[in-house]
């Protein structure tokens, strides 16, 4: 049976002339024992909720998993023949949602291991609610354990005593560069013992030893690591060397392997006796599927039965007969009421309806009224508060109506506003809560949330500072790739962080996160936009959402929007006109988050000067990009000067404001100072917006310099106008006024262009009187 895995893997890699055969050759024995004797699954109901989960964290060994999926009836032999080809269900690394039987997208080492921790945590949380009872198995290699995320995830799993988690370590002492001793001298056993795990060390090619180790792990009160000493590329001429890791073998090498293992068959052929042996493993698993489909509760809990079968399968689809249901009832203890109808046993209990709702990611029936009531309240209160506080305001109410919400924070609970009064903390003695203290483990938190989302019936959200999103980024990317509904709460989203300084002030982060496909990045301007964006995130069933939220208080901005029904979710358009111009449109100011109030202030001052100005609030770029061409044209296609204000990187903004658009934001790292001083220092202000607008009218560009405590105004001519003409024009409109108020001016030669050096205070007097 194990050799079928080996040769199918070799054949697929050989045909594709690409892949990683070493790991399947080494771990085939461990995988065979696991699937043949222990893993509870059903290829006819691959989404059975109470199935055991199997995650291949060292995803480069994907042919091991694909071979098993063929042998157990999940995929066809043609898919193996199309390994790594366009449109196949057998890509280079396992991809969730593409291949039946694949529980998680893996490949970036360590991610699968951390996701498995999240799956095991989900099982513990849901066990009491829905009486599920399954194991999470994860296969991992030396590379996974070298990655830092493995430390974070293993430490958390040990702390929470996730005893249904069993990790099978491919302990072959080989990495791509050579022996692991080149770069690593860890004692893995002592490391995991220190985390609070049970550790077993076995010969990974001894079937009996593998069986006994798995059985010991199943009885453990701690998570278990089984160190399986294996030989990478076993039976090949490259066995035990790094060269076995990847690449096709030579034809001579394959010929010798076939002779050595008496596997005298054509590529992709599996003899009938071996196929039948694998079919028997499926029959064994299906028997467990039937026996595990229903579990009873005690009469003290005032319930009789809860089904934990599939995601809404009918009676005929499950293959469960009324006779079988009656037999199960007869097996109940005498103190349990046996008067249970078949319909009740299948899908009619209130608990099962709740489970089906959560698995289908349907929102509670009353959620629209919950949002409407809270929005009405916010519109009446018009709170001026940090958007992180607004997020907490919204989620505190939602969490009372949505038991699937499981929150957490990477040791920043109070700052992130992610835990609410009614929430209980999940710990090793109590899994009935809904809040996880992840500790300072941002990467593991994000990956564990992926695992919980993949498990089903949980909608996870977790918080940290936006600047630390870099620690989460690999897992965030996988959320988007796997189309998982995970909510990332990233507070302290700009130089508004203030005194903590540039190490904690995100600059490039929004731009880099917006670049991730299928990730909805929300940066709301006030409490109403925050509520609207949360509502949108809950509707995005196949996408993660990331909230960039302010530390500092922001003004309530929707009060400037007089002409619209407040019940309308304006944020769903991604960008909308918050304040329309009252005269001919000359300027359009785009802004997000805490800078929207700056845009509104600039508009008011420009309108006073007779300059028609529109403000567009833009809480989510991706949503705006998804709007109709007509809607986008109504916002973008006009002759007005385009200005964007955001206390972050300029990257990406010129898509909306054009190549000649004006960006007011950050071009460097921040500084340590109170946030108001920082906004002034970096010229992120309404007055600066007006200044650059007026200069744009004269075709003059300005570069502010902190070293000069002022600015250099370039007087370089447009191509068709000489420098002197512009100098004379500017002299009349600006420099003469400077002289009138007694300020100094300097016309100096600078790289062949004439410039005027004027201090900032003087400029403010010139422009604003």
Give the active site residues.
442
CA distances to 63, 598, 758 from 765, rounded to whole Å, are 71, 20, 11
CA distances to 42, 413, 465, 519, 638 from 547, rounded to whole Å, are 38, 15, 10, 11, 30
The angle formed by the CA atoms of residues 591, 638 and 577, to the nearest 5 degrees, is: 40
Q: What's the start-to-end Cα distance of the chain, in Å?
A: 87
Specify whether the CB–CB gap between 552 and 385 falls below 8 A. Answer: no
Residue 567 backbone dihedrals phi, psi, to 5 degrees: -75, -15
Residue closest to 617 by CA, chosen among 639, 640, 645, 641: 645
Residue closest to 733 by CA, chosen among 688, 700, 705: 700
Burial degree of 233 (CB within 10 A; 0-12, 13-18, 19+): buried
SS3 string of 525-569? CCHHHHHHHHHHHHHCCCCCEEEEECCCCECCCHHHCCCCCCCCC
Specify whether the CB–CB gap between 175 and 141 falls below 8 A. Answer: no
Rounded-to-integer distance, Cα 74 and Cα 509, Å: 41
Residue closest to 734 by CA, chosen among 711, 705, 765: 765
- Name every residue whose Cβ is closer than 8 Å to that of residue 374 and which is 6 or more positions away in sequence: 393, 394, 397, 531
CA distances to 315, 601, 663 from 589, rounded to whole Å, are 59, 11, 10
Q: Which alpha helices (H) appear in 456-526, and where do they start and end?
A: 469-482, 509-514
Structure token digits, residue 358: 């959560």
Show the beta-strand stretches assigned E in 209-280: 224-229
Residue closest to 177 by CA, chosen among 143, 217, 204: 143
Instruction: Check residue 247 and report its DSSP letter.
Output: S
In this structure, are strands 710-714 and 753-759 parallel, antiparallel, or unpaired?
A: antiparallel
Structure token digits, residue 692: 């650059």
**Cα 54 from chain centroid (whole Å):** 21
- Name every residue whose Cβ is closer than 8 Å to that of residue 558 and which is 6 or more positions away in sequence: 379, 526, 528, 529, 566, 578
Rounded-to-integer distance, Cα 81 and Cα 66, Å: 11
Residue closest to 753 by CA, chosen among 703, 708, 705: 703
Residue 54 backbone dihedrals phi, psi, to 5 degrees: -125, 120
Rounded-to-integer distance, Cα 167 and Cα 116, Å: 9
CA distances to 553, 650, 700, 738 from 713, rounded to whole Å, are 34, 21, 7, 14
């Amino acid at each position: 049976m194990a050799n079928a895995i080996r040769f199918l893997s070799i054949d697929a890699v050989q045909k594709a002339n690409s892949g990683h055969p070493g790991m399947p050759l080494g771990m085939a024995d461990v995988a065979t024992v696991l699937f043949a004797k222990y893993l509870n699954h059903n290829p006819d109901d691959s989404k059975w909720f109470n199935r055991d989960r199997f995650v291949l964290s060292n995803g480069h060994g994907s042919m091991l998993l694909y071979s098993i999926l063929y042998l157990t009836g999940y995929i066809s032999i043609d898919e193996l023949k199309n390994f790594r080809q366009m449109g196949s269900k057998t890509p280079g690394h396992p991809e969730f949602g593409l291949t039946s039987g694949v529980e998680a997208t893996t490949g970036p080492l360590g991610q699968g291991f951390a996701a498995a921790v999240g799956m095991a945590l989900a099982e513990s949380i849901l066990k009491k609610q829905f009486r599920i009872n399954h194991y999470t198995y994860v296969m991992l290699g030396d590379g996974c354990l070298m990655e830092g995320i493995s430390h974070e995830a293993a430490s958390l799993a040990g702390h929470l005593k996730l005893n249904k988690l069993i990790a099978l370590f491919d302990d072959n002492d080989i990495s791509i560069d050579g022996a692991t001793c080149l770069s690593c001298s860890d004692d893995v056993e002592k490391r995991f013992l220190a985390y609070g795990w049970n550790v077993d060390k076995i010969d990974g090619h001894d079937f009996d030893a593998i069986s006994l180790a798995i059985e010991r792990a199943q009885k453990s009160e701690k998570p278990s690591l089984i160190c399986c000493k294996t030989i990478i590329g076993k039976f090949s001429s490259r066995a035990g060397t790094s060269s076995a890791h990847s690449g096709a073998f030579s034809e001579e090498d394959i010929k010798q392997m076939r002779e050595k293992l008496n596997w005298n068959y054509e590529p992709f052929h599996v003899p009938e006796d071996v196929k039948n042996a694998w079919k028997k493993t499926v029959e064994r698993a299906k028997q467990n599927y039937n026996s595990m489909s229903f579990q009873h509760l005690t009469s003290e809990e005032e319930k009789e039965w809860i089904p934990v079968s599939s995601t809404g399968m009918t009676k005929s689809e499950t293959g469960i007969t009324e006779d079988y249901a009656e037999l199960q009832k007869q097996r109940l203890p005498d103190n349990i009421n046996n008067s249970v109808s078949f319909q009740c046993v299948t899908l009619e209990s209130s608990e099962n309806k709740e489970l089906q709702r959560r698995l289908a990611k349907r929102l509670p029936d009353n959620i629209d009224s919950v949002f409407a009531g809270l929005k009405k309240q916010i519109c009446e209160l018009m709170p001026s508060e940090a958007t992180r506080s607004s997020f907490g305001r919204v989620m505190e109410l939602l969490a009372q109506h949505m038991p699937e919400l499981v929150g957490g924070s990477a040791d920043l609970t109070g700052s992130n506003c992610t835990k609410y009064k009614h929430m209980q903390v999940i710990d090793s003695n109590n899994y009935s809560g809904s809040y996880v203290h992840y500790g300072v483990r941002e990467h593991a938190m994000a990956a564990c949330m992926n695992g919980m989302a993949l498990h089903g019936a949980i909608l996870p959200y977790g918080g940290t500072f936006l600047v630390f999103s870099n620690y989460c980024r690999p897992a965030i990317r996988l959320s988007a790739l796997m189309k998982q509904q995970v909510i990332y709460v990233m507070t302290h989203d700009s130089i508004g962080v203030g005194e903590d300084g540039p190490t904690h002030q995100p600059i490039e982060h929004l731009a880099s996160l917006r670049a991730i496909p299928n990730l909805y990045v929300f940066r709301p301007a006030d409490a109403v936009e925050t509520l609207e964006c949360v509502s949108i995130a809950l509707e995005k069933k196949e996408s993660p959402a990331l909230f960039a939220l302010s530390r500092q208080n922001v003004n309530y901005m929707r009060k400037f929007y007089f002409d619209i029904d407040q019940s309308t979710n304006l944020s769903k358009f991604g960008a909308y006109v918050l304040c329309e111009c009252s005269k001919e449109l000359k300027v359009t100011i785009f802004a997000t988050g805490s800078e929207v109030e700056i845009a509104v202030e600039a508009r008011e001052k420009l309108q006073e000067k007779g300059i028609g100005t529109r403000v567009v609030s833009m809480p989510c770029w991706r949503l705006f990009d998804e709007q109709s061409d007509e809607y986008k044209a109504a916002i973008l296609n006009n002759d007005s000067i385009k200005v964007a204000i955001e206390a972050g990187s300029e990257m990406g903004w010129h898509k909306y404001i054009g190549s000649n658009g004006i960006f007011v934001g950050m071009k460097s790292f921040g500084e340590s100072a109170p946030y108001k001083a920082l906004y002034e220092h970096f010229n992120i202000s309404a007055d600066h917006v007006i200044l650059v607008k007026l200069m744009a009218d004269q075709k003059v560009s300005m570069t502010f310099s902190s070293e000069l405590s002022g600015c250099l105004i370039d007087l370089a001519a447009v191509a068709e106008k000489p420098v002197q003409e512009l100098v004379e024009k500017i002299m009349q409109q600006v420099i003469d006024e400077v002289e009138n108020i007694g300020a100094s001016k300097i016309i100096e030669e600078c790289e062949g262009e004439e410039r005027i050096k004027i201090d900032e205070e003087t400029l403010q007097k010139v422009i604003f009187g």
